[in-house]
Structure 1
Amino acid sequence: MGLVNDLADLASFDSLLSAEGQALLDDVRDITPDQELAVATRLRRDHPADLVSAAVAQARLRQRATAKFGEADARRMYFTANGVEQATRTSVATHRAQEFEALGVRSVADLCCGIGGDAIALARAGISVLAVDRDPLTCAVARANAAALGLSGLIEVREADVTEVDTEPYDAVFVDPARRGGRGRIFDPEAYSPPLSWAIGTALKVPRAALKIAPGIPHEAIPDAADAEWISDEGDVKEAVLWFGTEPGRMRATLLPGPRPLTGRGLPDPEVRPVGRYLYEPDGAVIRAHLVADVAEEVEGGLIDETIAYVTSDTLRATPYGTAYEITDQLHFNVKKLKALLREREVGILTVKKRGSAVDPEELRRKALPKRHGKASVTVFLTRVAGAPTMLLGHPVP
């Protein structure tokens, strides 16, 4: 992780760890955005302005972090703005820690540790962790988080350049390279900090390793020695992980909560079929892992188009790897026809999904939904069927 904070930030954070800072954090714990100005003005009468600002900012970050870390942990932990954005969600970090534990790993060098989200999950699995980052503030926050959660005995935080750390004493290495720069997300793995090639080289030097990467990584960029896993949480794809020291060449998707794992079997691409009674929308992790064929086989289905990851079937099969919809109508793309059909059926709730279409879902909803809304609901899929722009209408199967 790059140097994203300065010494003033570090001094401000250190002040929060003082008795006065802790008392202020308690005072501002539950303030809402509309209360911030009034509360800060009141507190500045008795406390340094910089300390009050730091406490209010930290309270705001803790509230944001609740979605990733849960309220119980987020209320005790410390964050930076970058740390909240880049930290691993607790459910995902816990899953990865359990994978390491199942592999018999007892010690991990966590390189590019950030604010310590993964280190915390590893320590809670009973694994000792060396957490490394080169940013002084980030290290201070990670160290404070380990202490706040009672994990200092298992987590050693070290401020250093990860490329200079000796990983030989550890059972495994975990690397979470920075994938954001001054202009936003970085898509070239060699532009990560540190580069993916360095991370792979480091992984090959230890018995076990896991490298966190962007889920959109091209499959051709995955080394033959890697075991690639795509992870989604509540249907939202979160990350991909390259495992080393496990099963080279394996492709798998893990759906959380669960976990619900799906391992590829090297099946050929499904055949294209006419749209049947049911449409299956595979989970995003399944799609990223190129395991749509495994889902199609499970539901005795095929594809609606050779380039579209929607599976169709006349068979209804419960599957944890996708959502099933019963299709009622198949129309060529035509907004006027859709609007007339929605009016006829008194539709008031319109869910728009798309795959292989350039149409903006919000614009379609605005144009197609009748002004006099009814109570019925429908889902419309904007897609291609055998190459033709198509609208499929249906409902989720209970």
Structure 2
Amino acid sequence: MERSELVELLSPEGLRLLDSLPPYHSTGDVVRMVSDLRKAGHPPTLVAAVLTQARLRSKAAAKFGRFADRMLFTEAGLEQATRLSVAALHAGRFAAAGLSRVVDLGCGIGGDAMAMAAIDLQVTAVDADEITAAIASYNLAPFSNASVLNQDAEKTDLRGADGIYLDPARRTAGHGQTTRFTDPDDYSPSLNFAFELATGRSVGVKLGPGFDRDLIPSTAEAQWISVDGHLVEMGLWFGALARPHIRRSALVIDAGGSYELTAAEDSEDVEAGELGDFIYEPDGAVIRARLIGDLARSLGARMLSDGIAYLTSSTLVATPFASAFRVLETLPFAERDLRRALREREIGTLEIKKRGVDVDPAALRKRLSLSGRESATLVLTRIAGRHAALLVDRVG
């Protein structure tokens, strides 16, 4: 998005036009809307701007629900924005810690700052990019207790703040298609700056779920969060924001609520044992937090094989921290024999799950050339170190 495009979009005419558009559904809708808007005399640049926002609002509904219809976005800003349900948990940490004046460094489009302002925290949102800061200002306009600064986060005056939140940009500069950084030294604000701030302060840092665990400071509480089965972030919490005696946390959020496993450190894995009637696939947050051993003990389960994140048990225990599968059969692992076994069972639709084996599920599915009326789930893994193919049924 260019500055001139944003100016047009933020004009009274631009905002009225955006809010008057019908819901964005398909490319066909866009073609018709472009034609109708051009016939109505609207300039091409404004038409492009409002239709881009209509598309982003539709996409943002997954993260912001009904609030997306009153917000503005950039492509890159929406990509990195925190889901509203998770942002509310971030804000709740500050409130629970008794912190009321928060500076959000690298605020992006303002999602976390909105959640903080909504529970009456005094929020100063900061972003170095002019367009992003302008969009954050629009999104935070309904809150009298929130303000936005367009400046370098690392040069921001933090006097008066009792809490600091950072969501470092982990992608190259820009508002459209950007590239993810692989080196934490390239984050903005930098990771070194964030960790230095955390010395003696109450600081929260949002990072990607695949962040190198070796870089996690020993003073931080590290929390991995999954939403509806998707691992979405890892947060580091320092000072009053870190809970006593907790250094590892896996938070699982789904339609039924939120559930958490916590520990003072990585948990030791349980021993591997023979295949039982059920296998469990731990949630990604549990795996990244290295709490598989604690989960296994709570289920009375054992590892299928050392170092592989599958558990097994002869009894079924309901848990929000893992998907459960009933073991139906053990099939041949060799591809030719496996193909024959699946065809004998008339399996035409096959979900393939794998851990601990060098297999590309999509390529394997294509090579199997299956046809049939039945559907099934196949787990490819190791049992006691040996390759295994398990035909399983997902337990609801």
**TM-score if structure 1 supplies the norm length?**
0.91
Residue 240 (structure 1) aligned with residue 231 (structure 2):
no
**What is the 5 A alignment of 1:170-185?**
170-181=161-172, 184-185=179-180
Separation in 2 of the partners of 1:254 and 1:157? 30
Separation in 1 of the partners of 2:247 and 2:342? 45
Aligned length: 384
The equivalent position to 1:111 in structure 2, one of 105, 111, 114, is 105
The CA deviation at 1:80 is: 0.9
The CA deviation at 1:361 is: 1.2
Separation in 1 of the partners of 2:108 and 2:238? 22
Hey, what does 1:252 align to over in structure 2?
Answer: 249
- C-alpha deviations, 1:196-222, integer Å up to 9, x for none? 11101112242x211011211232211
Decide whether the 8 Å contact of 1:272 with 1:305 is kept in 2: yes
Residue 210 (structure 1) aligned with residue 204 (structure 2):
yes
Aligned to 2:70, the other structure's residue is in SS state coil
Hey, what does 1:22 align to over in structure 2?
Answer: 15
Residue identity matched to 1:255: V
Judged with a 3 Å threshold, the aligned counterparts in structure 2 of structure 1 residues 242 and 124 are, in CA distance, closer, same or farther, namely same
Hey, what does 2:45 align to over in structure 1?
Answer: 50
Residue 154 (structure 1) aligned with residue 154 (structure 2):
no
Residue identity matched to 1:385: I
Separation in 2 of the partners of 1:58 and 1:237? 27
The CA deviation at 1:248 is: 6.6
The CA deviation at 1:176 is: 0.5
Aligned to 2:232, the other structure's residue is in SS state strand
Hey, what does 1:264 align to over in structure 2?
Answer: 263
Judged with a 3 Å threshold, the aligned counterparts in structure 2 of structure 1 residues 80 and 192 are, in CA distance, closer, same or farther, namely same
Decide whether the 8 Å contact of 1:225 with 1:249 is kept in 2: no
Judged with a 3 Å threshold, the aligned counterparts in structure 2 of structure 1 residues 19 and 219 are, in CA distance, closer, same or farther, namely closer
Hey, what does 1:378 align to over in structure 2?
Answer: 376
Aligned to 2:185, the other structure's residue is in SS state helix
Decide whether the 8 Å contact of 2:224 with 2:250 is kept in 1: yes
Separation in 2 of the partners of 1:23 and 1:60? 16
Judged with a 3 Å threshold, the aligned counterparts in structure 2 of structure 1 residues 330 and 177 are, in CA distance, closer, same or farther, namely same
The CA deviation at 1:265 is: 5.2
Decide whether the 8 Å contact of 1:189 with 1:195 is kept in 2: yes
Hey, what does 2:68 align to over in structure 1?
Answer: 74
Hey, what does 2:89 align to over in structure 1?
Answer: 95
The CA deviation at 1:96 is: 1.4
Listed as ranges, the gaps of 5+ residues in structure 1 are: none
Hey, what does 2:390 align to over in structure 1?
Answer: 392
Separation in 2 of the partners of 1:55 and 1:218? 39
The equivalent position to 1:35 in structure 2, one of 29, 35, 39, is 29
Separation in 2 of the partners of 1:387 and 1:181? 42
Hey, what does 2:221 align to over in structure 1?
Answer: 227
The CA deviation at 1:291 is: 0.4
Separation in 2 of the partners of 1:119 and 1:77? 13
- C-alpha deviations, 1:175-208, integer Å up to 9, x for none? 00011127722232222112211101112242x2
Hey, what does 1:323 align to over in structure 2?
Answer: 323
Residue identity matched to 2:392: G
Hey, what does 2:288 align to over in structure 1?
Answer: 288
Decide whether the 8 Å contact of 1:179 with 1:192 is kept in 2: yes
Hey, what does 1:360 align to over in structure 2?
Answer: 360
Separation in 1 of the partners of 2:369 and 2:326? 21
Residue identity matched to 1:384: R
Q: Percent identity?
A: 42
Residue 65 (structure 1) aligned with residue 60 (structure 2):
yes
**TM-score if structure 2 supplies the norm length?**
0.92
Hey, what does 1:12 align to over in structure 2?
Answer: 5
Residue identity matched to 1:197: N
Decide whether the 8 Å contact of 1:252 with 1:264 is kept in 2: yes
The CA deviation at 1:293 is: 0.3
Hey, what does 2:116 align to over in structure 1?
Answer: 122
Decide whether the 8 Å contact of 1:342 with 1:369 is kept in 2: no
Pick which of 25-34 and 300-309 moved more: 25-34
Separation in 2 of the partners of 1:25 and 1:209? 37
Hey, what does 2:339 align to over in structure 1?
Answer: 339
Separation in 1 of the partners of 2:22 and 2:134? 21
Aligned to 1:273, the other structure's residue is in SS state coil
- C-alpha deviations, 1:121-148, integer Å up to 9, x for none? 111122121000011110110011112x
Separation in 2 of the partners of 1:38 and 1:219? 49
Pick which of 284-293 and 196-205 moved more: 196-205
The CA deviation at 1:14 is: 2.3
Residue identity matched to 2:9: L
Pick which of 320-329 and 41-50 moved more: 41-50
Residue identity matched to 1:368: L
Listed as ranges, the gaps of 5+ residues in structure 2 are: none
Aligned to 1:340, the other structure's residue is in SS state helix
Decide whether the 8 Å contact of 1:139 with 1:157 is kept in 2: yes
- C-alpha deviations, 1:344-391, integer Å up to 9, x for none? 3333432111112221212222333632x223x321112122222221
Separation in 1 of the partners of 2:195 and 2:158? 13
Residue identity matched to 2:204: A
Hey, what does 1:192 align to over in structure 2?
Answer: 187
Aligned to 1:262, the other structure's residue is in SS state strand
Hey, what does 1:277 align to over in structure 2?
Answer: 277
Decide whether the 8 Å contact of 1:226 with 1:248 is kept in 2: no
Residue identity matched to 1:382: L
Separation in 2 of the partners of 1:225 and 1:211? 13
Decide whether the 8 Å contact of 2:268 with 2:294 is kept in 1: no
